[in-house]
Structure 1
Amino acid sequence: MSSPQTTRPPEATAAPPRLLGVLFLGTLLAALDIAVVGPALPALREAFALSERSVAWTFTAFVLANLAGLPITSALADRVGRRRVYLACVAVFAAGTLLVALAPSFGVLLAGRVVQGLGASGIFPVATAVIGDAFPPERRGRAVGLLGSVFGVAFLIGPALAGIVLAFASWRWVFALSLPLAAVVYTLAARRLPESRAETARPFDAAGTIALVALLVSLVVGLSGLDASGLSASVARPAVWGPLGLAVVLVLALGVIERRAAAPLLRPGLVARRPVQIACVLAVGAGVVEATFVLLSAYSVVAFGVEKSAASYLLLPLVGGVALGAPLAGRTLDRVGVRPVVLTATALIVLGMAAIAAAPTLGLHIAATVVLGLGLSGVLGSSLSYIFLAEAGRDERAVAQGLSTIFLSVGQLTGAALLAALAASATDSEAGYRLGFGVVAVGAAALVVAALFLPRTSTGRVQR
């Protein structure tokens, strides 16, 4: 495998900690936007007179755009340079943020969310690829673990920040406060980010990208139509089975397209490796679990009578577990390998989700969210990135990380659509939430089984 052409600014070469700090802030920029959406949804619903199903598109539009942009930004990063693409993504994200903050209608707000998603699509994958270029193999796990902890930090400060802003100002300021951070990230990245690219440019898989996005839109629309009070009857409705049937057809079409593509979105060389296949399954599962974050605040209001103004703060114990566990998982990966870390993490996810579904009191619910956060931290970010970096060649690092995020987004979209449909359509809202969380817990048990087939240690392919 040929090595990429690399040019590094003196600042990045001389001070890797500074480089990691820039990547940390950039990932925080994108993660904060996800963290503040949940607390802002009630205000958006009131401001634009929306139903619960409609306002959920605030989250869905961002994730779909993020997913659509991933193959584009990943391919461009390997082709024209990671530094250039990273800077462009930060600028696009800032433009989308401004559009959301100034949106006069919900349609314009969704357009802004799409622009934000496109910008965010290149921030974390390119950051991880830069780590693969700039850090030696024995330090990558710790560096990636630090980036993984950013999501915990974002969800730690995001709900609290959103709650404070919403208490004194409009929902628009919840989004506008990201603009100064975007300016800081752009300025620092322009000075310190090293430039690197794959030596061999690959064509862009436009047909595969279109098929994948169409597949996921069909899946989300179909799942959103499910009715918890009559699942079998709802599946029989054309508005449900039609999109779901189309999704099945598009899965088959995507397989044909990818086998014929010159540079397929789902790279056969990567996907054919067992560790990568397992990592894709883990990414989908982690995405589904992550989607529950959006609903936990609303669930605490319904199930435990928590005031709406305080509900967002109940996410803090969960994300504290994520922030605590992510760097620990990264350090442990370097010492014991992937399988023990992921096995422990997935078992904690099952325990946490099952406890959330059954917890009779608020105290037990909060304790269960901490367990869930610790478990998710061992899968989301560090372990997934570690596997993909170990299996990808130097020319495919950004594309490999993009593949990880694609499957994570699939899980987020599927989980959000399914959980929202069950909660919104059940005759008893609390029972609908508990049913959804229980389904997630059962699905998470499959992740434990998948983790058993991971190699105990890295294959070390990145060292070629």
Structure 2
Amino acid sequence: MHQPVTRPPSDQKFPPAINIIALAGFSAALSTRALDPVLPHVADDFAISITTAASIAAGFALIYALVQPAIGAAADLFGKARLMTACLALLGVACILGALATSFSGLFASRILAGIAAGGVFPVALGLTADLVAPAKRQVAIGRTMAGSMTGNLLGSSASGIIGDFIGWRGVLVILGALGLIAAVAVAAGFRGAALTAPPKTDFKTLRQGYRTIFSNPNTRFCYSAVFVEGCCVFGLFPFIAAFLFDLGEKSLSIAGIVIAGFAVGGLLYTLTVSRVLPWLGVKGMMIAGGGIVALQLGALAFGPGWKLQFASMLAMGWGFYMIHGCLQVFASELSIGARATAMSLHSFFFFMGQTVGPLAYGFGLHHGGKVPTLLASAAIMVMLGLVCARLLKPRAPSDAR
């Protein structure tokens, strides 16, 4: 069957609030990896080991995942725009507190607080996007929302290294804090009077009904399992990229950063091409093609090409990853109408838990099986994931659809 013809991307009109949501995602994503390049300075200032300093990143990611179910429920109960504004303000304050920290424990506590705040931005942003845009245009709109977050991820680590050279790691946190507060004001102003559905009554009966609606949908178990596997197979690889390059004799950490940044560049390429590729391939084709592209790049990385080819592979992997991940986000947004933020936050929870388990799984595989078998096994899983998702995930109206 022929795919329906859609209007060209220039004709697809989205509410201006989509740009504000993208700004919010950008501001939150900047904080995710921004301290990684300046951790040696943090270690020197507090006279601790680099391993101890690196625990900041692990603590941030873990708390980000753990708060997702609570954040989503709060967004559905109290209002998505209101909660996202509060989280951005909290993120700004947490970053500034971190800049003022006089001990490592104080800095660590501020980053835990920042992880809670950042965890309340991106999934809520996806829920807001789904509220504002009809399902037929939603995948393209979500692509625009993700562009803000992916740009933040891309610039966060690279820009913070440059800023840190001039004004130190405390200066990095001050700038992040200021950007978070500016984004909070922008969201509060941009959504004042916006035509959004009023939040439901704040009680636990509403919350229970939201979870019941989500988990009664047959797509739920497939959707959440799939993003967990994605997190394991794709993001679980990232901590080992530098080590793979070291094995090839490429000792520059800057080169490792460039290679990893290729994934974010591929994600941005997805946002620019999704409106053209989606009508051509359809949702099922996007999931199959995305899983296949990721698998091919994992296979290529297994055999250790030079860093320039690895950058190209990571770029293609980012493009393929978001082809399948974007489809899963759309399915997650349709698990419930009244509890949409809860559904998106659970989606994010399983995704980040996959990212927590992934490095452990890769470490076990690399130690016991070696690089080539481990990456080829991961590639095979991604191929199967695309095929299974295309077969089992089907458009289904949630039980609370009006």
Query: Kindly tell me: are residues 368 and 125 of structure 1, through their superposed partners in 2, closer, same or farther at Cα, counting changes over 3 Å?
Result: same
Q: Does 1:129 align with 2:130?
A: no
Conservation of the 8 A alpha-carbon contact between 2:28 and 2:180? no
Distance 1:170 1:134, change over 3 A: same
Aligned to 2:307: 362
Report the AA paired with residue 283 of structure 1.
V
Deviations 1:93-112 (A, max 9, x none): 11221233333333222211
Write the deviation string for residues 41-60 of structure 1: whole angstroms up to 9, x where unpaired: 44445555555654442222
Aligned to 1:459: 396
Find the aligned partners of 1:295 and 1:171 in 2 and give their Cα distance: 25
Deviation by residue 1:54-80 (Cα, 9 ceiling, x = unmatched): 444222211222223222221121112
- Equivalent in 397, 403, 408 of residue 340 of structure 2: 397
1:228 corresponds to:
none
1: CA distance, partners of 2:93 / 2:67: 15
2:159 alignment partner in structure 1? 161
2:287 to 325, 334, 342: 342
Is the contact made by 1:163 and 1:312 (CA closer than 8 Å) also made in structure 2?
A: no
Residue 411 to residue 50, structure 1, CA distance change in 2 (3 Å): farther
Deviations 1:258-305 (A, max 9, x none): xxxx8289x354234332222112211232222433443454345342
Corresponding position of 2:19? 21
Is 1:415 equivalent to 2:365 in the alignment? no
CA distance in structure 1 between the partners assigned to 2:205 and 2:352 by the alignment: 20
Counterpart CA distance in 1 for 2:216 and 2:118 is 28
Alignment match, 1:79: 77
Q: CA–CA distance in 2 between the matches of 1:168 and 1:155?
A: 21
Q: Counterpart in 1 of 2:118? A: 120
Q: Equivalences for 1:7-156 in 2 at 5 Å?
A: 17-48=15-46, 54-156=52-154
Give the TM-score, by structure 2 length: 0.83
Partners of 1:390 and 1:73 in 2: CA distance = 18
Instruction: Check conservation: 1:70, 1:406, Cα contact below 8 A.
Output: yes
Distance across 1 between alignment mates of 2:83 and 2:345: 13
Shift of 1:335: 6.8
Partner of 1:374: 319
Aligned equivalent of 2:328: 384
| C-alpha distance in structure 2 between counterparts of 1:121 and 1:275, whole Å | 24
Determine if contact 2:259/2:310 at 8 Å carries over to the other structure.
no
Report if aligned partners of 2:24, 2:121 keep a CA contact under 8 Å in 1.
yes
In structure 1, distance between residues paired with 2:320 and 2:352: 19
- Checking the alignment, whether the CA contact within 8 Å between 1:87 and 1:190 is kept in structure 2 is yes
Residue 52 to residue 354, structure 1, CA distance change in 2 (3 Å): farther
Task: Say if 2:200 is the partner of 1:199.
Answer: yes
Amino acid at match of 1:187: V
Residues 171-182 of structure 1 mapped to structure 2, 5 A cutoff: 171-182=169-180
Contact 1:333 1:383 in 2 (8 A): no
SS at 1:453 equivalent: helix
TM-score by length of 1: 0.73
Question: Secondary structure of the equivalent of 1:459?
Answer: coil
Question: What does the per-residue CA deviation read over 1:139-193, in whole Å, with 9 as the maximum and x for residues that have no partner?
Answer: 2221111112234322332332123223334233333321222122111111112
> Is the 1:323–1:377 contact (alpha carbons within 8 Å) kept by the matching residues of 2?
no
Residue matched to 2:5: none
Is residue 37–residue 157 contact of structure 2 (8 Å, CA) maintained in 1? yes
The residue type paired with residue 285 of structure 2 is: P
Q: Which moved more, 1:332-341 or 1:277-286?
A: 332-341
RMSD in angstroms over aligned alpha carbons?
3.2
In structure 2, the CA distance between the partners of 1:166 and 1:199, relative to structure 1 (3 Å rule), is closer
Measure, in 2, the Cα distance between the counterparts of 1:26 and 1:39. Answer: 23
Alpha-carbon displacement from aligned partner over 1:232-280 (angstroms, at most 9, x marks no partner):
xxxxxxxxxxxxxxxxxxxxxxxxxxxxxx8289x35423433222211
Does the residue aligned with 2:92 lie in a helix, a strand or coil? helix
Cα gap change, 1:272 to 1:56, in 2 (>3 Å): farther
State the 1:200 CA deviation: 4.8
CA 314–118 in structure 1, closer or farther in 2 if over 3 Å, else same:
same
Structure-1 separation of matches of 2:213 and 2:239? 35
Q: CA distance change for structure 1 residues 356 and 179 in 2, over 3 Å: closer, same or farther?
A: same
**How is 1:233-312 mapped onto 2 (pairs within 5 angstroms)?**
263=208, 267-288=211-232, 289-297=234-242, 299-312=244-257
Are the structure 2 counterparts of residues 131 and 116 from structure 1 closer, same or farther at C-alpha, using a change threshold of 3 Å?
Answer: same
Q: What is the aligned-residue identity percentage?
A: 23
Q: Classify 1:40/1:402 alpha carbon distance in 2 versus 1 (closer, same or farther; 3 Å).
A: same
Secondary structure of the residue aligned to 1:263 is: helix
The change in CA–CA distance for 1:191 and 1:151 in structure 2 (over 3 A counts) is: closer
Deviations 1:78-131 (A, max 9, x none): 112222211111111112212333333332222112101111122112212222
Quote the Cα distance in structure 2 between the aligned partners of 1:204 and 1:361.
57
Whether the 8 Å CA contact 1:159–1:313 is kept in 2: the answer is no
Q: Figure out how many residues of one structure are paired with residues of the other and give that number.
A: 385
Could you say which residue in structure 1 is the equivalent of 2:386?
448
